[in-house]
Amino acid sequence: MKRAIIVFFIFLITIPSWSQNETTSIAILIEDGLVSNSAEISRLAAKLSDAQRFLLIHEYKKDPTLPFIANFFLGCGIGSFIQDDRTGGIIALLGDISGAALMVAGSLVPTTGQITSIRWSQDLGKNPIFLGMYLGGTGILLGSRIFEMIRPWTYSSGYNKKLLRALSNQEIGFMVQPDRGSIAASFVYTFEI
């Protein structure tokens, strides 16, 4: 009888270590790349409890606030790079650089064989090429800045949906996810047909 109790307690002690290994493996796979490892993450997540899934989702979800603030004040896609969004960061960086370069090139008007700073009332209106470069650069820079304000929100939303899909247990269920700083909770229904 004592052996049975000892074996039972040893079994109870080792069960959390098995699930901890699954949680650690999933965490490593998420850090290596959520999209490329989603099939393996889904396979391992089937062995986890709902609480463990919730903790993984809470730990690895992307928050767009800091990237938005960095893009707003610093520009050049820095917030997107902070968020590990290389595509958004490169698009924003190229947009900011090309827009600023066109604005600078459009604001310089050749006079007497040398480039001097612009005199708005006299030089810019006389040369439509430089005016077009300046206005085109302004449009590109403005469009790039608008992109930088929107991209952190759309990227984090897509990433969080992929994370939830990879960690869901492929059955009908729900998860209570409290919002920050409020009493309200949101219900997420996940199912696959």
Question: Is the same domain home to 101 and 166?
Answer: yes
Q: What percent of the chain has pLDDT above 70?
A: 67
Question: Is the same domain home to 70 and 117?
Answer: yes
Residue 123: what pLDDT? 53
Answer yes or no: is pLDDT of 190 > 70: no
Q: How much is the pTM?
A: 0.68
Residue 48: what pLDDT? 83
Question: Is the same domain home to 90 and 149?
Answer: yes
Domain that holds residue 157: 62-193
The answer to whether 91 touches 97, Cβ cutoff 8 Å, is: no
Q: How many domains does the chain have?
A: 2
Question: Is the same domain home to 133 and 49?
Answer: no
Residue 113: what pLDDT? 45
Answer yes or no: is pLDDT of 10 > 70: no
Question: Is the same domain home to 113 and 181?
Answer: yes
Residue 9: what pLDDT? 53
Q: Torsion-angle region of residue 113: left (phi > 0), alpha (psi -120 to 50) or beta? A: left
Question: Is the same domain home to 90 and 145?
Answer: yes
Among 9, 35, 60, which residue terminates a domain? 60
Three-state SS string over the chain comes to CHHHHHHHHHHHHHHHHHHHHHHHHHHHHHHHCCCCCHHHHHHHHCCCCHHHHHHHHHHHCCCCHHHHHHHHHCCCCHHHHHCCCHHHHHHHHHHHHHHHHHHHHHHCEEECCEEECCCCCCCHHHCHHHHHHHHHHHHHHHHHHHHHHHHHHHHHHHHHHHHHHHHCCCCCEEEEEECCCCCCEEEEEECCC
The answer to whether 136 touches 155, Cβ cutoff 8 Å, is: no
Question: Is the same domain home to 36 and 93?
Answer: no
Residue 158: what pLDDT? 93
47-66 average pLDDT score: 88
Answer yes or no: is pLDDT of 56 > 80: yes
Question: Is the same domain home to 71 and 32?
Answer: no
pLDDT digits (tens, 9 = 90+) for 132-168: 888 899 999 999 999 999 999 999 999 999 999 888 8
pLDDT digits (tens, 9 = 90+) for 77-98: 999 999 999 999 999 999 999 9
